[in-house]
Amino acid sequence: MDFTSLNLCQPLLDALDEIGYVSPTPIQAQAIPDLIEGRDLLGCAQTGTGKTAAFALPILDAMAKDPWGGSRRIRALMMCPTRELASQIRDNIEQYARHLDIRSMAMFGGVSQRPQEKILHRGVDILVATPGRLLDLISQGYVDLSYVQFLVLDEGDRMLDMGFIRDIRKILAHIPKNRQSMLFSATIPRSIVELSRDMLFDPVSVSITPETITIEAIEQSLMFVMKGDKRGLLTHIIKEERAEKVLVFSRTKHGCNRIVKQLGQDGIEALPIHGNKSQGAREKALGRFRNGTLQVLVATDVASRGIDVSDISHVINVDLPNE
């Protein structure tokens, strides 16, 4: 199967060809046909399965085939739990829509809202947002969701884990009932089932089971060490293995800061990325990590959602991961 068989409009096919997309991933092949038909969808898929294209391409296709005249209105709302994921989704949409007259923006907290207000004033078609900042701007009268035709909740389980359920329900009250809705989640606990009943109408369900086998190209190690010796072992691994690009996970924000400080004392530059850091600091750290000028990035598992970096040489869990 290739993308031409999915009945997407030619500008989207041209963009996918230029980006280098050849064949749809399983989630894309299963979800796109039903979404093009206008069905609601409950998708169980983890990060890295290609689900952004699975929901973005049908929405862009529908908007391209039914252009609106006059002032731009928010026709599609996509909500996700973190700033990084919002930025990544918006960047992907910009790639897919490069040949379409469709404007998108990412909205999140941790930065001044003034630039976001200006973009909204000029008009956008697709809004990618985290719930907190979105609710703030709705209450201030800057966001009008009364024209929304397409609604997406991405990383639904994580959003509920982070306590966004009340914000999400408040936001849903501002969106027309007559819409197409999609809910994506890495897991489907009871709370997601309950939310799907409120949000989706007669949905199709798509589940992509991740491969459980270990990728042979990845060497994995488990090291038993006393808590007080973790610092020395981490420094030893980074220096002895001449690790070029290291992603370190800590369970807490305080732990991230402590690891960064300790590595600095051991002569290794590292920067943290977590919810207490400003958006500017997070983007700067991520940018340096991507371009290779920062050797070590230390993150919480929540902040790691949306991190997309190639050529990582080492991934180290200082604490046992929660998932």
282-298, pLDDT tens digit by residue?
Answer: 888 888 888 889 999 99
Supply the pTM of this predicted model: 0.73
pLDDT at 213: 44
Question: What CA–CA distance (Å, rounded) separates 241 from 313?
Answer: 10
Determine contact, residues 249/321, Cβ cutoff 8 Å: yes
68, 157: one domain: yes
According to the model, what pLDDT value does residue 306 have? 58
Residue 221: its pLDDT value, please?
A: 86
Angle at 294 between CA 81 and CA 242, to 5 degrees: 120
Q: Is residue 213 part of a domain?
A: no
Q: Is residue 218 in some structural domain?
A: no
Tell me how far apart the alpha carbons of residues 157 and 134 are, in angstroms, rounded to a whole number. Answer: 19
147 and 243 share one domain = no
Whole-number Å distance between alpha carbons of 80 and 162: 11
Quick check: helix, strand or coil at residue 164?
Answer: coil
- Whether residue 81 is predicted with pLDDT greater than 70 in this model: the reply is yes
Lookup: tokens for 123:
């008009």
Q: What per-residue string of b and e applies to 281-306 under the rule 16 or more CB within 10 Å gives b?
A: ebbebbeebbeeebbbbbbbbbbbbb
Q: Which domain holds residue 20?
A: 3-207
User: Is residue 86 predicted with pLDDT exceeding 90?
Assistant: yes
Burial of 228 (0-12, 13-18, 19+ CB in 10 A): exposed
Task: Look at residue 212 and tell me if it is in a domain.
Answer: no
Within this chain, do residues 179 and 34 fall inside the same structural domain, yes or no? yes
Asked if the structure places residue 231 within a domain, the reply is yes
Could you tell me if residue 183 is inside a domain? yes
221 domain-assigned: no
Coil, strand or helix at 41 = strand
pLDDT in tens, 58-74: 999 999 999 988 899 99
- Binning the chain into helix, strand and coil, the percentages to the nearest 5 are 45, 15, 40
Q: What is the pLDDT of residues 109-121, one digit of tens each?
A: 888 999 999 999 9
Q: What percentage of the chain reaches a pLDDT higher than 90?
A: 55
How many domains, in total, are found in the chain? 2
What is the pLDDT, as a whole number, of residue 228? 86
CATH code at position 255? 3.40.50.300
Grade residue 304 by pLDDT with cuts at 50, 70 and 90. low
pLDDT tens digits for range 207-237: 887 555 446 667 888 888 888 898 899 999 9
The DSSP letter of residue 6 is G
